[in-house]
Every structure is written in structure tokens, then in C-alpha cells.
Amino acid sequence: MIHEFYKDTEIFVTGGSGAVGKALIEKLLRSCDVRKVYILLRTKKNLSVEQRLEKLKQAKIFKVLHATKPHIFERLIPIPGDAALPKLGISAEHIALMSNVSVVFHCAATVRFDEPLPVALKLNVGATYEALLFAEQLKNLKMFMHVSTFYSNPYLKRVEPKLYDSPLDWRMCLKLLQDDSKRDTLDYLTKKLTVGFPNTYTFTKNLAESVVNDFRERLPVAIYRPSIVLHALSEPIPGYPPTLMGAMGLFVLVGAGILKTVFLSFSTRFDITPQDIGIKTMLYYAARAGNEYAQKKTIAEAPIYMSSSSKLSSHTFFQMCQVMEGGLWYEAAFEKNFMLPTCHYTDSRFVYKFLVFTKQILPALLADGLIMLTGRKPVLMGIVRKAYISLEVMKPFLFNTYDSPGMTHIEEMTEATKGTEFDLLPDITRAKTDEGLLDICTTMIFSIREHLLNENPNTIPIAQKRLRIKRWVYNILRAIIVYYILRWLYGFLLNYIEGPTAQ
């Protein structure tokens, strides 16, 4: 069904330079036999859209595509524009160029949890509205797929694949956003009515879903809610890490010996969507929704599809971290590391704060001080601060397990994709077992080293040797400290005992 739906079609992708967008484009070009893929790009850092496209093509996620189908990139066409501008800032000339586009994937968004509200509204709500207005100009449109998030309703303990009421009207929010004199009103209303939303990301994603649903009678629309997107399981590269942001960035900091403690609940199940599973399911859902719209004249509610691991894996986030602590950081030793790659996980706020100060802040201050003596700019304290802030904004997801029916239409989907390039069953089955978790974590860490940190696998032996030396030095220093503590304690006790005797 997937291949038939996309064969010889023209696709338009917003947010194509982001992690999800690049993975989507890679799969479309590699497996879907599409005619063209148009990608919205804006000029950035003195680079034209053509230059940005050339740079995008060099991303490591396209490594397999370069090796197997190097000429397929001729089908990737840049469209100058900006998701924050009216109708995406696309010129009439380029609108005419895309007259045969039949599928739109709206991936553009800011994924920062701590984004200022006006910025998050503009990029997550306003851009969705503008993308829909643009899509209305496409006469051959079969599907507009909006990429949302599994956490768009974080006040719920169980999330169903259906639309929930938004706390505010999206039209009013955009109207207030356009009037600078009403910003205070917007901030006031938001604080009063967004109880249950831990950050501006989840709040604005919730509003954006309402925008899409309100277009359901004007356009064939659907909403895709993936949970936390992590590394790929199998393709295009096993373990491929999408970005340094979020959980992947924290894993890197643990491996680099900078992040030494994490505050979390030991029982929290981290709902994740492996990157390749997410792309395969999104392509399936878009095709399914497109076919449904072609058969029905009226749609009561925009179709909503979820990618959730709640029914596929019982592993907690702590279990995943413990697997990596079981020697994997040493097996895939990073060339660039500060201290030993170990991390203490705790559900005690007091212990967490104490360890942050003693095992992260103090060593970072000492190291930065030495760096400054050499005339260079300090860096470690800034990294430690950003890691702390990241964990604070992630705290709601590290202490809450969200239930759901799981992956939408999973039985139907696994049967329909069996034996194809979109087959889900092998990876889903592997992820359920402890052995599979170990294999997945191992592949991920080695891939982080090679593809995010750009470290040659041939340097692993020398990196392991450096870690052994560091561990040896660390153990000696720890023994010296323990010796002096015991010596002081012995002297204190001896004076305490001998004091009365001497009198």
C-alpha cells in the first residue's frame, strides 16, 4: 500500500533540515520511488538555499543513499521560503512549480522545551496555519500530514488517538501575538489556562492540532504523534543518532564523563519512537489517511495516529541507562572525554543536588580555571549548566509514565508491511527482550561515537587505554583521600579517648 500511494508522486516537506525531516526525505528517496521531493529552506548564515541544500545532502544520514542511488538527489528540489512567513514565504513562481504536489509533510517546528511563548506560538502554531493556507493552493493534494507529539496532552495519564480540547483558542493566540500591546494579556491568559502543560513546546503543539483539525473539511489532513524520537534501530544506519538535542545529547555527556548524575524515577517507562520506526509508520499513516479521504466525503475529526512504545516494551529508562553503565561506555570509549564515563541515577532531590555540585560543578570550575590559565576560553561550566537546565525541563517526562493503546493500527500495519522495505516486525520483536535492549544500546553508543562525535572506530583501542589510565589515577587519588580522612578520624578519636585519661 505504501509504495503504491507514493509512486511517481511529488512531495513537499517543511522542516526538512531537521532530524525528522532528513530521515523522512532519505526514506522517500530510497524506498518510495517518488518523482520529486520539494524541501522548504530559508537562507541562513549567508548561505543561499542552493548552498544549504548541498550542505544538507552531505549529512551522514544520506550515506547509504549516496552509495546505492547517487543520482536520486536530482529529485530533491529546494524551495526558498520561511515557515514563519505568510503562506511560508513562497513566491508565485515556486508555487506554480509545485502545482503537482499531492502530499505535504509538515515537520517544521521548534522542539525546544524552554522556548519563549511568542516564539513557540509563531513557529509551532502560526507556521502550521500558514502551511495549511499554502496547501489550499495545491489542486492535487491527497494528504497533509502534520507532525505533532505524543506529549501534546501531558496533563493526561492515558493518551488516546483522538483530539482533545485546547485550553485556548488558537485564533485568539495568533491575534494577540500579532499585537505587541497585547503580549502581556497573552502571557497572563497562558499562565492561567495552561495548567498541566510543563513547557511551551507541549502547549503550542496542542494548539497546532486544533488548527489542523479545523481544516479537516477544507483539506485532507491527518495528525501524527510520535513519542520521544531516538536513534534508528536498523536503517539507514543501525543505531544512527538523529541529533545532539534531548536524550541523545545527555547520553553523549555521560559518555564524555561530564554528566555524572541524573534525577529520575526508577519506575518511569520512557516512551520512545526509534527514528526509522517513526518514519515508516508516518509514511504508512499518511497513505492510509489519504486513501480514507479519497473514499469519504465528510470527516468528523482529523485522523490521529500515534507511535508509542507503551505496549511494545516494558523497559524503564533506568534499565536502559543501567545497560549502558554495564561496560558499554568503556567498549565504545570516546576520544573526547573529561572524567570517567559513569553516572549515578537517583530519585532523591537532595542527593541529586549534592552530586551535581560535587561531581559536576566543582570539577568543571577547576578544569575551566586551568583552561583559563592557558589563555583559552572556559567551556565546561557552560556545558554543565546547559545539561542541568535540560534535565530540569525534561523532569516531567522522567517522573511520569504515560499510558496509551500503543502504536495505532499496529496489527494491520505489520501485516501490510511484512516483507517490504517498510517491515516493522523484526525490530519491534527485538526491542521487547533484554538481549534486544543490550544490542540496541550497544549499536547506539558506537553510532553516537562515529556519527555524532565524528570519531574514527579505529581510535577505540587508544581511547580505551586512556580511560584505563584515568581510572588508575582516579583510584589512586581516591585511595589517598580515604587515607587522609581515616588518618584524621583516627587522630580525632585518639585525642578524644586520651583526653580524659590525661586529666
Q: Give pLDDT tens digits for 64-77.
A: 999 999 999 999 99
Name the percent of the chain lying above pLDDT 70: 97
For 197, the 3-state DSSP assignment is coil
CB 415 within 8 A of CB 428: no
329 Cβ neighbours under 8 A, 6+ residues apart: 254, 255, 341, 342, 445
pLDDT surpasses 90 at 79: yes
First to last CA, the chain: 95
Query: What are the counts of helices (DSSP H) followed by strands (DSSP E) for the chain?
Result: 21, 11
Give the integer Cα–Cα distance in Å for 283 and 325: 35
Report the pLDDT value the prediction gives residue 180, as an integer from 0 to 100. 72
pLDDT surpasses 70 at 287: yes
The mean pLDDT of 42-60, rounded to a whole number, is 88
Are residue 11 and residue 105 in the same domain, yes or no?
yes
pLDDT surpasses 90 at 182: no
Give the integer Cα–Cα distance in Å for 394 and 384: 15
Q: Which amino acid would we find at residue 31? A: S
Are residue 119 and residue 108 in the same domain, yes or no?
yes
Q: Please, which pLDDT band fits residue 114 given cuts at 50, 70 and 90?
A: confident
Count of Cβ atoms closer than 10 Å to residue 218 Cβ: 12
Are residue 289 and residue 317 in the same domain, yes or no?
no
For 107, the 3-state DSSP assignment is coil
Please give the model's pTM, rounded to 2 decimal places. 0.90
Give the integer Cα–Cα distance in Å for 56 and 340: 34
Count of Cβ atoms closer than 10 Å to residue 58 Cβ: 9
The residue from 437, 455, 473 where one domain ends is: 455
pLDDT surpasses 60 at 501: no
- Cell numbers at residue 79, please? 524551495
In a domain, 182, yes or no: no
Give the integer Cα–Cα distance in Å for 445 and 451: 10
For 113, the 3-state DSSP assignment is coil
For 147, the 3-state DSSP assignment is strand
In a domain, 246, yes or no: yes
Count of Cβ atoms closer than 10 Å to residue 424 Cβ: 22
Q: Which residue has the cell 502560526?
A: 126
The residue from 283, 307, 331 where one domain ends is: 307
Query: Could you give the C-alpha distances from 348 to 344, 351, 353, 354, 355, in angstroms and in order?
Result: 11, 5, 9, 10, 11
Pairing of the two strands 36-41 and 76-80: parallel
pLDDT surpasses 90 at 200: no
pLDDT surpasses 70 at 248: yes
Total of domains in the chain: 3
The residue from 307, 328, 357 where one domain ends is: 307
86 is in which domain, residue-wise?
Answer: 2-163+199-226+272-307
Q: How many CA atoms lie within 13 A of 361 on its CB side?
A: 9
Are residue 80 and residue 137 in the same domain, yes or no?
yes
In a domain, 176, yes or no: no
453 Cβ neighbours under 8 A, 6+ residues apart: 252, 334, 335, 336
Are residue 347 and residue 279 in the same domain, yes or no?
no
Q: Which amino acid would we find at residue 305? A: Y
Are residue 157 and residue 295 in the same domain, yes or no?
yes
**Exposed / middle / buried, residue 96 (Cβ in 10 Å: 0-12, 13-18, 19+):** exposed
Report the pLDDT value the prediction gives residue 295, as an integer from 0 to 100. 85
Q: What is the CATH number of the domain that holds 84?
A: 3.40.50.720
